[in-house]
Structure 1
Amino acid sequence: MVRVTALSSPFLLGFDDIERALDKVSKTAADGYPPYNIERIPASSPDPEKLRITLAVAGFQKEEIEVTVEENQLVIRGRQQEDKTREYLHRGIAARQFQRSFLLAEGMQVLGADLSQGLLAIDLVRPQPERVVRTIQISARD
C-alpha cells in the first residue's frame, strides 16, 4: 500500500525529513504533562526575536530537571525521588517523571533555561540567515 501525504508532490523535493518530523510530532503530542506555553518575544535592540517555552514544573528542584538538545530535538526530563521519610495521611501529589520533546527547526539555538516559582522557561533564538542569490550558469551544447 502506498502512503500519500501532502509532501509527496513531485514539486517538493528533499522534504523527507519534514515528513518524518511531522510523524514524530503527531505521536508525542498526546501527552499533556507537564503543561506548557510557547510565546514569541519581540526583538529589542540589540536582542533578536526569541521564542520562550514555559513548562509548569511545580514541585521539581533544579537538580531534578535536565534540558538537552539531541540532534534537532529539545528534550526536557524531570525525575523526582520518593521521600521515604514522610508518612502521608492523603497522597494527592505524586512524585512524577516526565519527558517533553520539541522538534527544533534547522539553525534554532537554545539560549538558556531558568527555573522560578515552579515555572521552567527556556529561551530559543533563530538567527536570521543571510539572503543568498546565486546565478546558475547555463552551458550550451550544440
Structure 2
Amino acid sequence: MRTTLDFSPLFRSSIGFDRMLDALETANRVEPFDNWPPYDIVKTGEDDYRITMAVAGFAEGDLTIAQEQNMLAVSGERAGEEDGQYLHRGIAERAFRRRFELADHVKVVGASLVNGLLTIDLKREIPEEMKPRRIEIATDGAQMKRVEAPRQVA
C-alpha cells in the first residue's frame, strides 16, 4: 500500500528547497524496485562515496557509466555468446540499467572493474564561492568594509 505525501505545506515556510522536495516526490513515484544487480553504497569520507555493483560475467566493454547533471546511470548489456546447450543457467546475463540521483556538486572521480565488482568513486566538491566565509563586523570608528565576490578575468 502506497501513501501519497503532500509537500505543499512545506513550500509555504521554506525557500530554496524546491529541488529537495521535488526529489522526495520523485522517490515517492518510483517504479517497482528491481534489486538486480545487487549493489552497495558506502560513505568512505566526509565528502567521499563509493558504489559497488556485482556485475559478474560483464566485461568493461559491456558496461556504460554516464553522468548527466544530478543523475548517474549505469547500464550493462552482453552480446549473446552461445557455446553450447545450457542444462542450467544460474548466472544472470540480462541487460540492466540502474540510476542513482546525485546531490548537487557530486562528481564521479573514478571507476574500476575487478573480480566481477564494478566500483564507482564519487566526491562532493563544493565550489569556493559556496563555502562558508567569515564576515568582518565594522566597529563605531572604523569604516565599513564592503564584501565583494572575487572577480574573474576573462
Q: TM-score higher than 0.5 here?
A: yes
Distance of 1:97 and 1:20 partners within structure 2:
29
Shift in Å, 1:94? 3.8
In structure 1, the partner of 2:69 is 71
Inter-CA distance 64–100: structure 2 relative to 1 (3 Å threshold): same
Inter-CA distance 133–81: structure 2 relative to 1 (3 Å threshold): same
User: Paired residue for 1:99, among 97, 100, 113?
Assistant: 97
TM-score calculated relative to the size of structure 2: 0.71
Moved more, 61-70 or 78-87: 78-87
In structure 2, the partner of 1:140 is none
Inter-CA distance 94–109: structure 2 relative to 1 (3 Å threshold): closer
Q: Which has the higher contact order (CA 8 A, sep 6+)?
A: 1
Amino acid at match of 2:100: F
In structure 2, the partner of 1:87 is 85
Inter-CA distance 61–13: structure 2 relative to 1 (3 Å threshold): same
Tell me how many residue pairs correspond in the alignment: 128
Shift in Å, 1:40? 1.7
- Structure 1 residue ranges without an equivalent (≥5): 44-48, 136-142
Inter-CA distance 29–108: structure 2 relative to 1 (3 Å threshold): farther
Distance of 1:84 and 1:103 partners within structure 2:
36
Shift in Å, 1:89? 2.0
Inter-CA distance 69–28: structure 2 relative to 1 (3 Å threshold): farther
Shift in Å, 1:29? 7.0
TM-score calculated relative to the size of structure 1: 0.77
Distance of 2:26 and 2:109 partners within structure 1:
24
Inter-CA distance 7–108: structure 2 relative to 1 (3 Å threshold): farther
Higher gyration radius (CA)? 2
Shift in Å, 1:116? 0.3
- For 1:86-137, what per-residue CA distance to the aligned partner results, in whole angstroms no more than 9, with x for missing partners? 32122233421111111111111110100000101100111244214678xx
Identity %: 36
Moved more, 85-94 or 71-80: 85-94
Any conservation in 2 of the 1:7–1:19 contact (CA below 8 Å)? no
Structure 1 residue 33 corresponds to structure 2 residue 36: yes
Shift in Å, 1:61? 0.7
